[in-house]
């Protein structure tokens, strides 16, 4: 069996920046066990599998596909960067002719469309609720150490804990955090939290004018740090839009690779995640 595979760097236009995802467009469905083995073999934060819903369609003309995402250890219900990368494969590699393509996923239908050199993704907005930091004190300590924390929020849908650093902490403090995955796993083993977002107020007054910064850690999903996480930005967009009184936001995830996300918070409980992507590898898996 031969399976095409593409490695796409998402939320960037520069190779080896942003967040890499492996994308496999499949003629036929595979077993869940094989999906997981392929994702483990690719060993990226996510491997996505695009499959046809209508057998008569092909990847160049079809407008609706099934999409699933796997980390090296498990399937996840929502992934932004691998959705962006999947859309890039369809639009740029398969030359899909549709203005909009819809992916059927575990988080419902997600539509994607091109806008210039960017791709716009229609995602659910996941508003977090404010929490008492003492409820997560060991986990917070494991992630940010002794850095001052301004607010702690949690979104139960995504199981993401969001820690906002005090405004005295700039981008350098956030970028310098070095949480240990083992310490995170030891401090939270209930299954309630599956990822931790750390965020800080941006510097919109300086070019290019980022409204906020973030990093994202998910060792519970086999990912020590996700370089640029789209699903985390469904939480961040809701939070910072309310705090800043803005519907359009420009965000930067300051991992080592780094990546930029444009956000448009809509009035219908959805958010547009906008980013670029570049394909760095095309190959074939032989099984």
> What are 131-135's contacts with CB under 8 Å, separation 24+?
131/161
104 touches 66 (CB < 8 A): yes
Q: Residues with catalytic annotation?
A: 46
């Amino acid at each position: 069996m031969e399976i095409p595979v593409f490695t796409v760097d998402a939320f960037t236009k520069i190779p080896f920046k942003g967040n890499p995802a492996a994308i496999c467009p499949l003629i036929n469905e595979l077993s869940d066990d094989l999906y997981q083995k392929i994702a483990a073999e690719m060993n990226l934060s996510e491997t996505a599998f695009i499959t046809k819903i209508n057998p008569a369609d092909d990847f160049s003309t079809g407008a609706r596909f099934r999409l699933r995402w796997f980390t090296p250890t498990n399937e996840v219900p929502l992934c932004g960067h691998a959705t962006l990368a999947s859309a890039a494969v369809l639009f740029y590699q398969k030359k899909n002719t549709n203005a909009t393509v819809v992916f059927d996923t575990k988080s419902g239908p997600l539509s994607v469309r091109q806008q210039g050199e960017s791709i716009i993704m229609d995602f659910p907005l996941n508003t977090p609720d404010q929490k008492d930091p003492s409820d997560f004190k060991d986990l917070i300590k494991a992630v940010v150490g002794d850095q001052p924390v301004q607010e702690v929020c949690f979104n139960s849908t995504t199981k993401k804990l969001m820690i906002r650093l005090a405004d005295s902490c700039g981008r350098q403090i956030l970028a310098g955090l070095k949480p240990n995955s083992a310490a995170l796993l030891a401090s939270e083993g209930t299954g309630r939290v599956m990822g931790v977002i750390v965020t800080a107020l941006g510097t919109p007054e300086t070019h290019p004018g980022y409204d906020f910064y973030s990093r994202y850690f998910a060792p519970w999903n086999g990912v020590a740090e996700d370089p640029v996480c789209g699903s985390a930005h469904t939480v961040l967009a809701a939070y910072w839009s309310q705090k800043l009184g803005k519907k359009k936001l420009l965000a930067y995830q300051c991992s080592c690779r780094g990546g930029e996300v444009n956000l448009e918070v809509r009035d219908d409980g959805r958010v547009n995640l906008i980013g670029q992507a570049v394909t760095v590898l095309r190959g074939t898996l032989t099984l």
